[in-house]
Every structure is written in C-alpha cells, then in structure tokens.
Amino acid sequence: MAAKSQPNIPKAKSLDGVTNDRTASQGQWGRAWEVDWFSLASVIFLLLFAPFIVYYFIMACDQYSCALTGPVVDIVTGHARLWDIWAKTPPITRKAAQLYTLWVTFQVLLYTSLPDFCHKFLPGYVGGIQEGAVTPAGVVNKYQINGLQAWLLTHLLWFANAHLLSWFSPTIIFDNWIPLLWCANILGYAVSTFAMVKGYFFPTSTRDWTCSAARMGAASSGAGSPRSLSAPTHPPTGRGTTASCWCPASGAWPATSTTSAT
C-alpha cells in the first residue's frame, strides 16, 4: 500500500499533478538513504543470481521430482552436465507468449479502467487514490491502489470459467508453466530496463533527476579542476536530458553515473 503523507510538512500542488514537498530531506527512498555495503551486496546478489536460483528450483522439480539436491549430485558425480539439464529445459512457445500477453493486458485493463471499490466495504484496507513515498526531491506521487480488487476479480473469473464458461482449461498455467516462466522473466527485465531509461531521460519529476559520478571517474578527472570554475554545477532540468551529467565533486562529465528518479 502507498505510504501516507507526512502531516507536518508543507506541500503545494504542482502543474504536473504531483504534490511537492518543500523539505527534500524528508525523502523516503533513493538518494535520501545512506546505503551500507551489506545492503548493496544483497541487492547485487539478488540481481545476479535470483533468475538462476528460480531456474534451479524449476529444473529440480521438473527433471528430478523436486529433489533439490538431485542436480548438484548428478553434476558432481558426473552423471549429468549443465548442458544436459539445459537441453531438457522446455523453451518459450508461441502459445505461452500469447497467453502471457493476454494475461498482462487483462491486468493492465483492471488497473487502469476500474477504480478501487474494496476500500468502501473492507475495514482497515487503504485503497483508491493514495499518496506514495516522499521522493528525495520532496515530491509525493499519486497512485491508484486497486491490486486487491484485481486479484479478486481475476479469481472470480477463474472459478466462473472452471465451473460455467469453459473458455480455457483450469490447468492452463500448469500445462505451460516453464514457458510462462520465460515470459515472466523477459517482461521483468524489460520493465526494469524501461524504469532505468525513464529515470535518465523522462522522469516524472525533473527535480528528482540527479547523477553522481563513479569514484574512478572522480579520481581520474581530479576535483577542483579549472573546468569546475565556469561550468554548471547542477544537472539539466528539462525533459529529454542526456545520460551524461555534470558532477560538481569532480568537475567532469563522468562516463559512468547513477540516477534516482521516478
């Protein structure tokens, strides 16, 4: 659920439909946090190994009757190679891609077309238009919270199909679950890439657009260089900005940078 706004912080409505918080230090995510090395290492571990861990569990269930140690034992003892396990993996199919596209389209329609009504009769449930977390620049975006409603309608349709409509087989996910897994991973990486590109080039709020140079770039360019006396010390604020950005700490345009934007 979306976080509620902080009552003691003055806000003002902006022209783009978001609430602007005047105190940037109240940001609840992004560069407002000091991230320790353990958290950073954990995130990197999940990004690198989460797909492989899921694939390992799926293959253990599909090829080894859910014996989680089966693949490791076979590889160590020489009874199987990684290529053998990969060769038995069902590939993505056109049917699975079509099913997944229809599923995602249906969920998007549920989100965009039906305002939440569950909060009107479920005590304690916070739904409808809600304020999100305060961004590092002090912006509070509005979100339509209707996930529970979409979940209920999806299951209602599922049971209606199984008992009355017979539009598709009730075991359609089980029959295509590994090809659907590929589709889910492809969409997940596509959405993540889009979010990163959006943060660089067209953020929801331009005041949340910022870059920080990599340490290597700062060391190689040298802080306090003559260029830092005349060049701008803030990132561009217009939409359609480039991936390069000015770093006031090094006085250079870094080749590598990070961004936090919505």
User: What is the per-residue pLDDT across 138-164, written as a single tens digit (0 to 9) for each?
Assistant: 888 899 999 999 999 999 999 999 999
Round to whole Å and give the CA distance between 131 and 140.
Answer: 6
> Which comes out higher in pLDDT, residue 256 or 146?
146
User: What is the per-residue pLDDT across 64-106, written as a single tens digit (0 to 9) for each?
Assistant: 999 999 999 999 999 999 999 999 999 999 999 999 999 999 9
Round to whole Å and give the CA distance between 61 and 50.
Answer: 17
Helix (H, G, I), strand (E, B) or coil at 139: strand
Q: Which two tokens stand for residue 242?
A: 């480039």
Round to whole Å and give the CA distance between 22 and 11.
Answer: 6
The residue length of the chain stands at 262
On average, the pLDDT of the chain sits at 75
The whole-number pLDDT of residue 101 equals: 96
User: What is the per-residue pLDDT across 184-217, written as a single tens digit (0 to 9) for each?
Assistant: 989 998 998 999 898 888 888 888 776 654 444 4
Would residue 8 be called left, alpha or beta, if left means φ above 0 and alpha means ψ between -120 and 50 degrees? alpha
Residue 148's contacts (CB-CB under 8 Å, 6 or more residues apart) are 116, 118, 122, 125, 127
pLDDT band at 26; cut points 50, 70, 90 = low
Q: Give the end-to-end CA distance of the chain in Å, rounded to a whole number.
A: 17
Q: How far is CA 183 from CA 108, 150, 170, 188, in A?
A: 16, 21, 20, 9
Helix (H, G, I), strand (E, B) or coil at 243: coil
Please state the three-class secondary structure of 153-188 as a single string.
HHHHHHHHHHHHHCCCCCCHHHHCHHHHHHHHHHHH
CA 164, 167, 169, 173 torsion-angle sign = negative
Residue 46 has pLDDT above 90, yes or no: no
Round to whole Å and give the CA distance between 161 and 28.
Answer: 43
Round to whole Å and give the CA distance between 9 and 23.
Answer: 7
Find the angle CA(192)-CA(196)-CA(200) to the nearest 5 degrees: 165
| Domain residue ranges in the chain | 37-89, 91-205
Round to whole Å and give the CA distance between 235 and 105.
Answer: 37
In this prediction the pTM is 0.65
